Amino acid sequence: MQSSKTDIEIYMLAGEVFSTLTSDIQRTHYNNLKGSITLCWSEEKKFNAWAISETTLGGAPIHKIVITYEMARQIYRDVEAFYEFARDIRFLNLLKKMPNGTMPHPLIPKIFNKDDCINNMFFAAITWVYFHELGHLTQEHGFVREERNTSVAESLIQELESSTEKPLSGQASKISHATELAADCEATVMCLVELARHFTDEKLVGKNDDRQALIGCYYLIICSLACIFYRFNGGRVSLANSTPIGTHPDAIFRLECAATQFYEFFDMTKKVLGVTISRVDIISLTKQAADMGAMFWHFVHTDASTSITDIVIRGLLERREYKEYAKEIITTWDEISPKILKLRHFGASFGILQFGERYRQYVFETSEIMKLVKFQKLQTSRTHSNVLQQSE
Ligand SMILES: [Zn+2]
């Protein structure tokens, strides 16, 4: 059995991943744009990461991503604990009491042994965080957040909410939340592209690869997301506010959005990747992974006082409690996204945050269906009042 890694070994492993990513991205994107991307480590003893842009308006991108050692260390330790949680007899017994089909897939992908599982989940999680920062930078969120009118921007976007400063509110908070979701979306798509690049390379996986490792890694990335979101949220499991407050959306809302982006993009690209899996299975695999991550956080890192039904994936259309909040976010994103799209340096078109027509109709209650539902409710209440009047 593998002994756990020392902190130094974790930093070295993360360092290798980040330096390979940074040199690849410099070569594939920044060289053409005559810009630069650099990665720095911080010794701050907090789970944190941030993105610094020194780009001048209209100029080449000059970007820096900063990661704390503590973030890499904590993600590794969480991943180790997650592996143990998925095999914990108390959790397995609890699952037996849940409805059939709650976790229809293996809790840990069968293709991976313990070392593979921990390493792949760790690589996937730190890569996702790196791409989230890159998402802020490629879209130059600093220009939008701070409404810079000068020709020089030195913006800094931090992931960890300050616990001492007064929380952000009003328009600044709305913009911050919307751009966090936009960076999440970029990260998800970049991460899946990177995953596909790695796990479809014949030199690495051989000629007749059945893509089970790719599917397994897809699952593990999503398992790690809840942990990342809750850690950046200072560990809080907060439930919906009707209006944005602070710098980051609730972990639950971020997880719902990211899960949808993951399964939609994976379903769209599966043929090209040579993956044979139905849309239904992709969705159930995604839900299970996100739920596993959320339950791990719930049982291992909290007092488990929140209801499990609140933290697991239900789909955005089943989240009435976020309807008012989503109205604010969508309206804000519609206002700022034209400017962001002009500033965006690179990235796949699917990496741009979008709110589908169905969700918009649900949130703003504009569809014919919603009108019909309202009409029926009205009719029902009239019938009821008629009955009441008649009986009186
Ligand atoms: Zn962010």
Q: Do 351 and 387 reside in the same domain of the chain? A: no
Cα 249 to middle of ligand 1, angstroms:
10
* Both tokens assigned to 51: 């993105």
Task: State the burial class of residue 153 (Cβ atoms within 10 Å of its Cβ: 0-12, 13-18, 19+).
Answer: middle
Cα 208 to middle of ligand 1, angstroms:
39
Cα 137 to middle of ligand 1, angstroms:
10
Q: Do 302 and 350 reside in the same domain of the chain? A: yes
- Concatenate the DSSP letters of all residues of 268-317 into one string: HHHHHHT----HHHHHHHHHHHHHHHHHHHHHHHS-S-S-HHHHS---GG
Q: Do 305 and 382 reside in the same domain of the chain? A: no
**Helix, strand or coil for residue 34?**
coil
Per-residue pLDDT of 107-165, as tens digits, reads: 999 999 999 999 999 999 999 999 999 999 999 999 998 765 455 557 888 888 777 67
Cα 51 to middle of ligand 1, angstroms:
8
Chunked mean pLDDT (size 10), the chain, 392 residues: 83 97 97 97 95 92 97 97 97 92 94 95 96 97 74 76 79 95 97 90 82 94 93 80 90 96 95 92 97 95 89 93 95 96 96 95 77 62 47 36
Residue 273, phi then psi, degrees to nearest 5: -80, -5
Cα 135 to middle of ligand 1, angstroms:
8
Which residues lie closer than 8 Å to 139 by C-beta, 6 or more apart? 179, 182, 183, 186, 340, 343, 344, 347
Q: Which residues of 326-357 are buried (b: 16+ CB within 10 A; e: fewer)?
A: bbbbbebbeebbeebeebbbebeebbbbbbee
**Helix, strand or coil for residue 223?**
helix
Question: Considering the entire predicted model, what is its pTM?
Answer: 0.90
Q: Do 236 and 380 reside in the same domain of the chain? A: no
Cα 375 to middle of ligand 1, angstroms:
42
Q: Do 255 and 297 reside in the same domain of the chain? A: yes
Cα 267 to middle of ligand 1, angstroms:
26
Cα 180 to middle of ligand 1, angstroms:
5
Q: Do 342 and 382 reside in the same domain of the chain? A: no
Q: How many domains does the chain have?
A: 2
* Both tokens assigned to 54: 């020194």
Cα 225 to middle of ligand 1, angstroms:
13
Q: Do 125 and 228 reside in the same domain of the chain? A: yes
- DSSP letter at 3 equals P
Residue 16 domain-assigned (yes or no): no
Cα 160 to middle of ligand 1, angstroms:
9
Cα 386 to middle of ligand 1, angstroms:
54
Q: Is the CB of residue 141 less than 8 Å from the CB of residue 340?
A: yes
Residue 44 domain-assigned (yes or no): no
Cα 201 to middle of ligand 1, angstroms:
30
Cα 71 to middle of ligand 1, angstroms:
14
Cα 108 to middle of ligand 1, angstroms:
28
Domain limits at 176?
71-134+165-355
Q: Do 112 and 239 reside in the same domain of the chain? A: yes
pLDDT at 170: 92
Assign 3-class secondary structure to 319-341.
CHHHHHHHHHHHHHHHHHHHHHH
Cα 101 to middle of ligand 1, angstroms:
34
Q: Which amino acid is at 13?
A: L
The DSSP bridge pattern shows strands 36-42 and 62-68 to be parallel
Q: Do 206 and 255 reside in the same domain of the chain? A: yes
Cα 268 to middle of ligand 1, angstroms:
26
C-alpha dihedral (157, 262, 121, 39), degrees to nearest 10: -30
Residue 46 domain-assigned (yes or no): no
Q: Do 255 and 364 reside in the same domain of the chain? A: no
> What is the Cα–Cα distance from 381 to 392, expressed in whole angstroms?
16
pLDDT at 178: 97
C-alpha atoms less than 13 angstroms from C-alpha of 230 in its C-beta half-sphere: 26
Cα 89 to middle of ligand 1, angstroms:
36
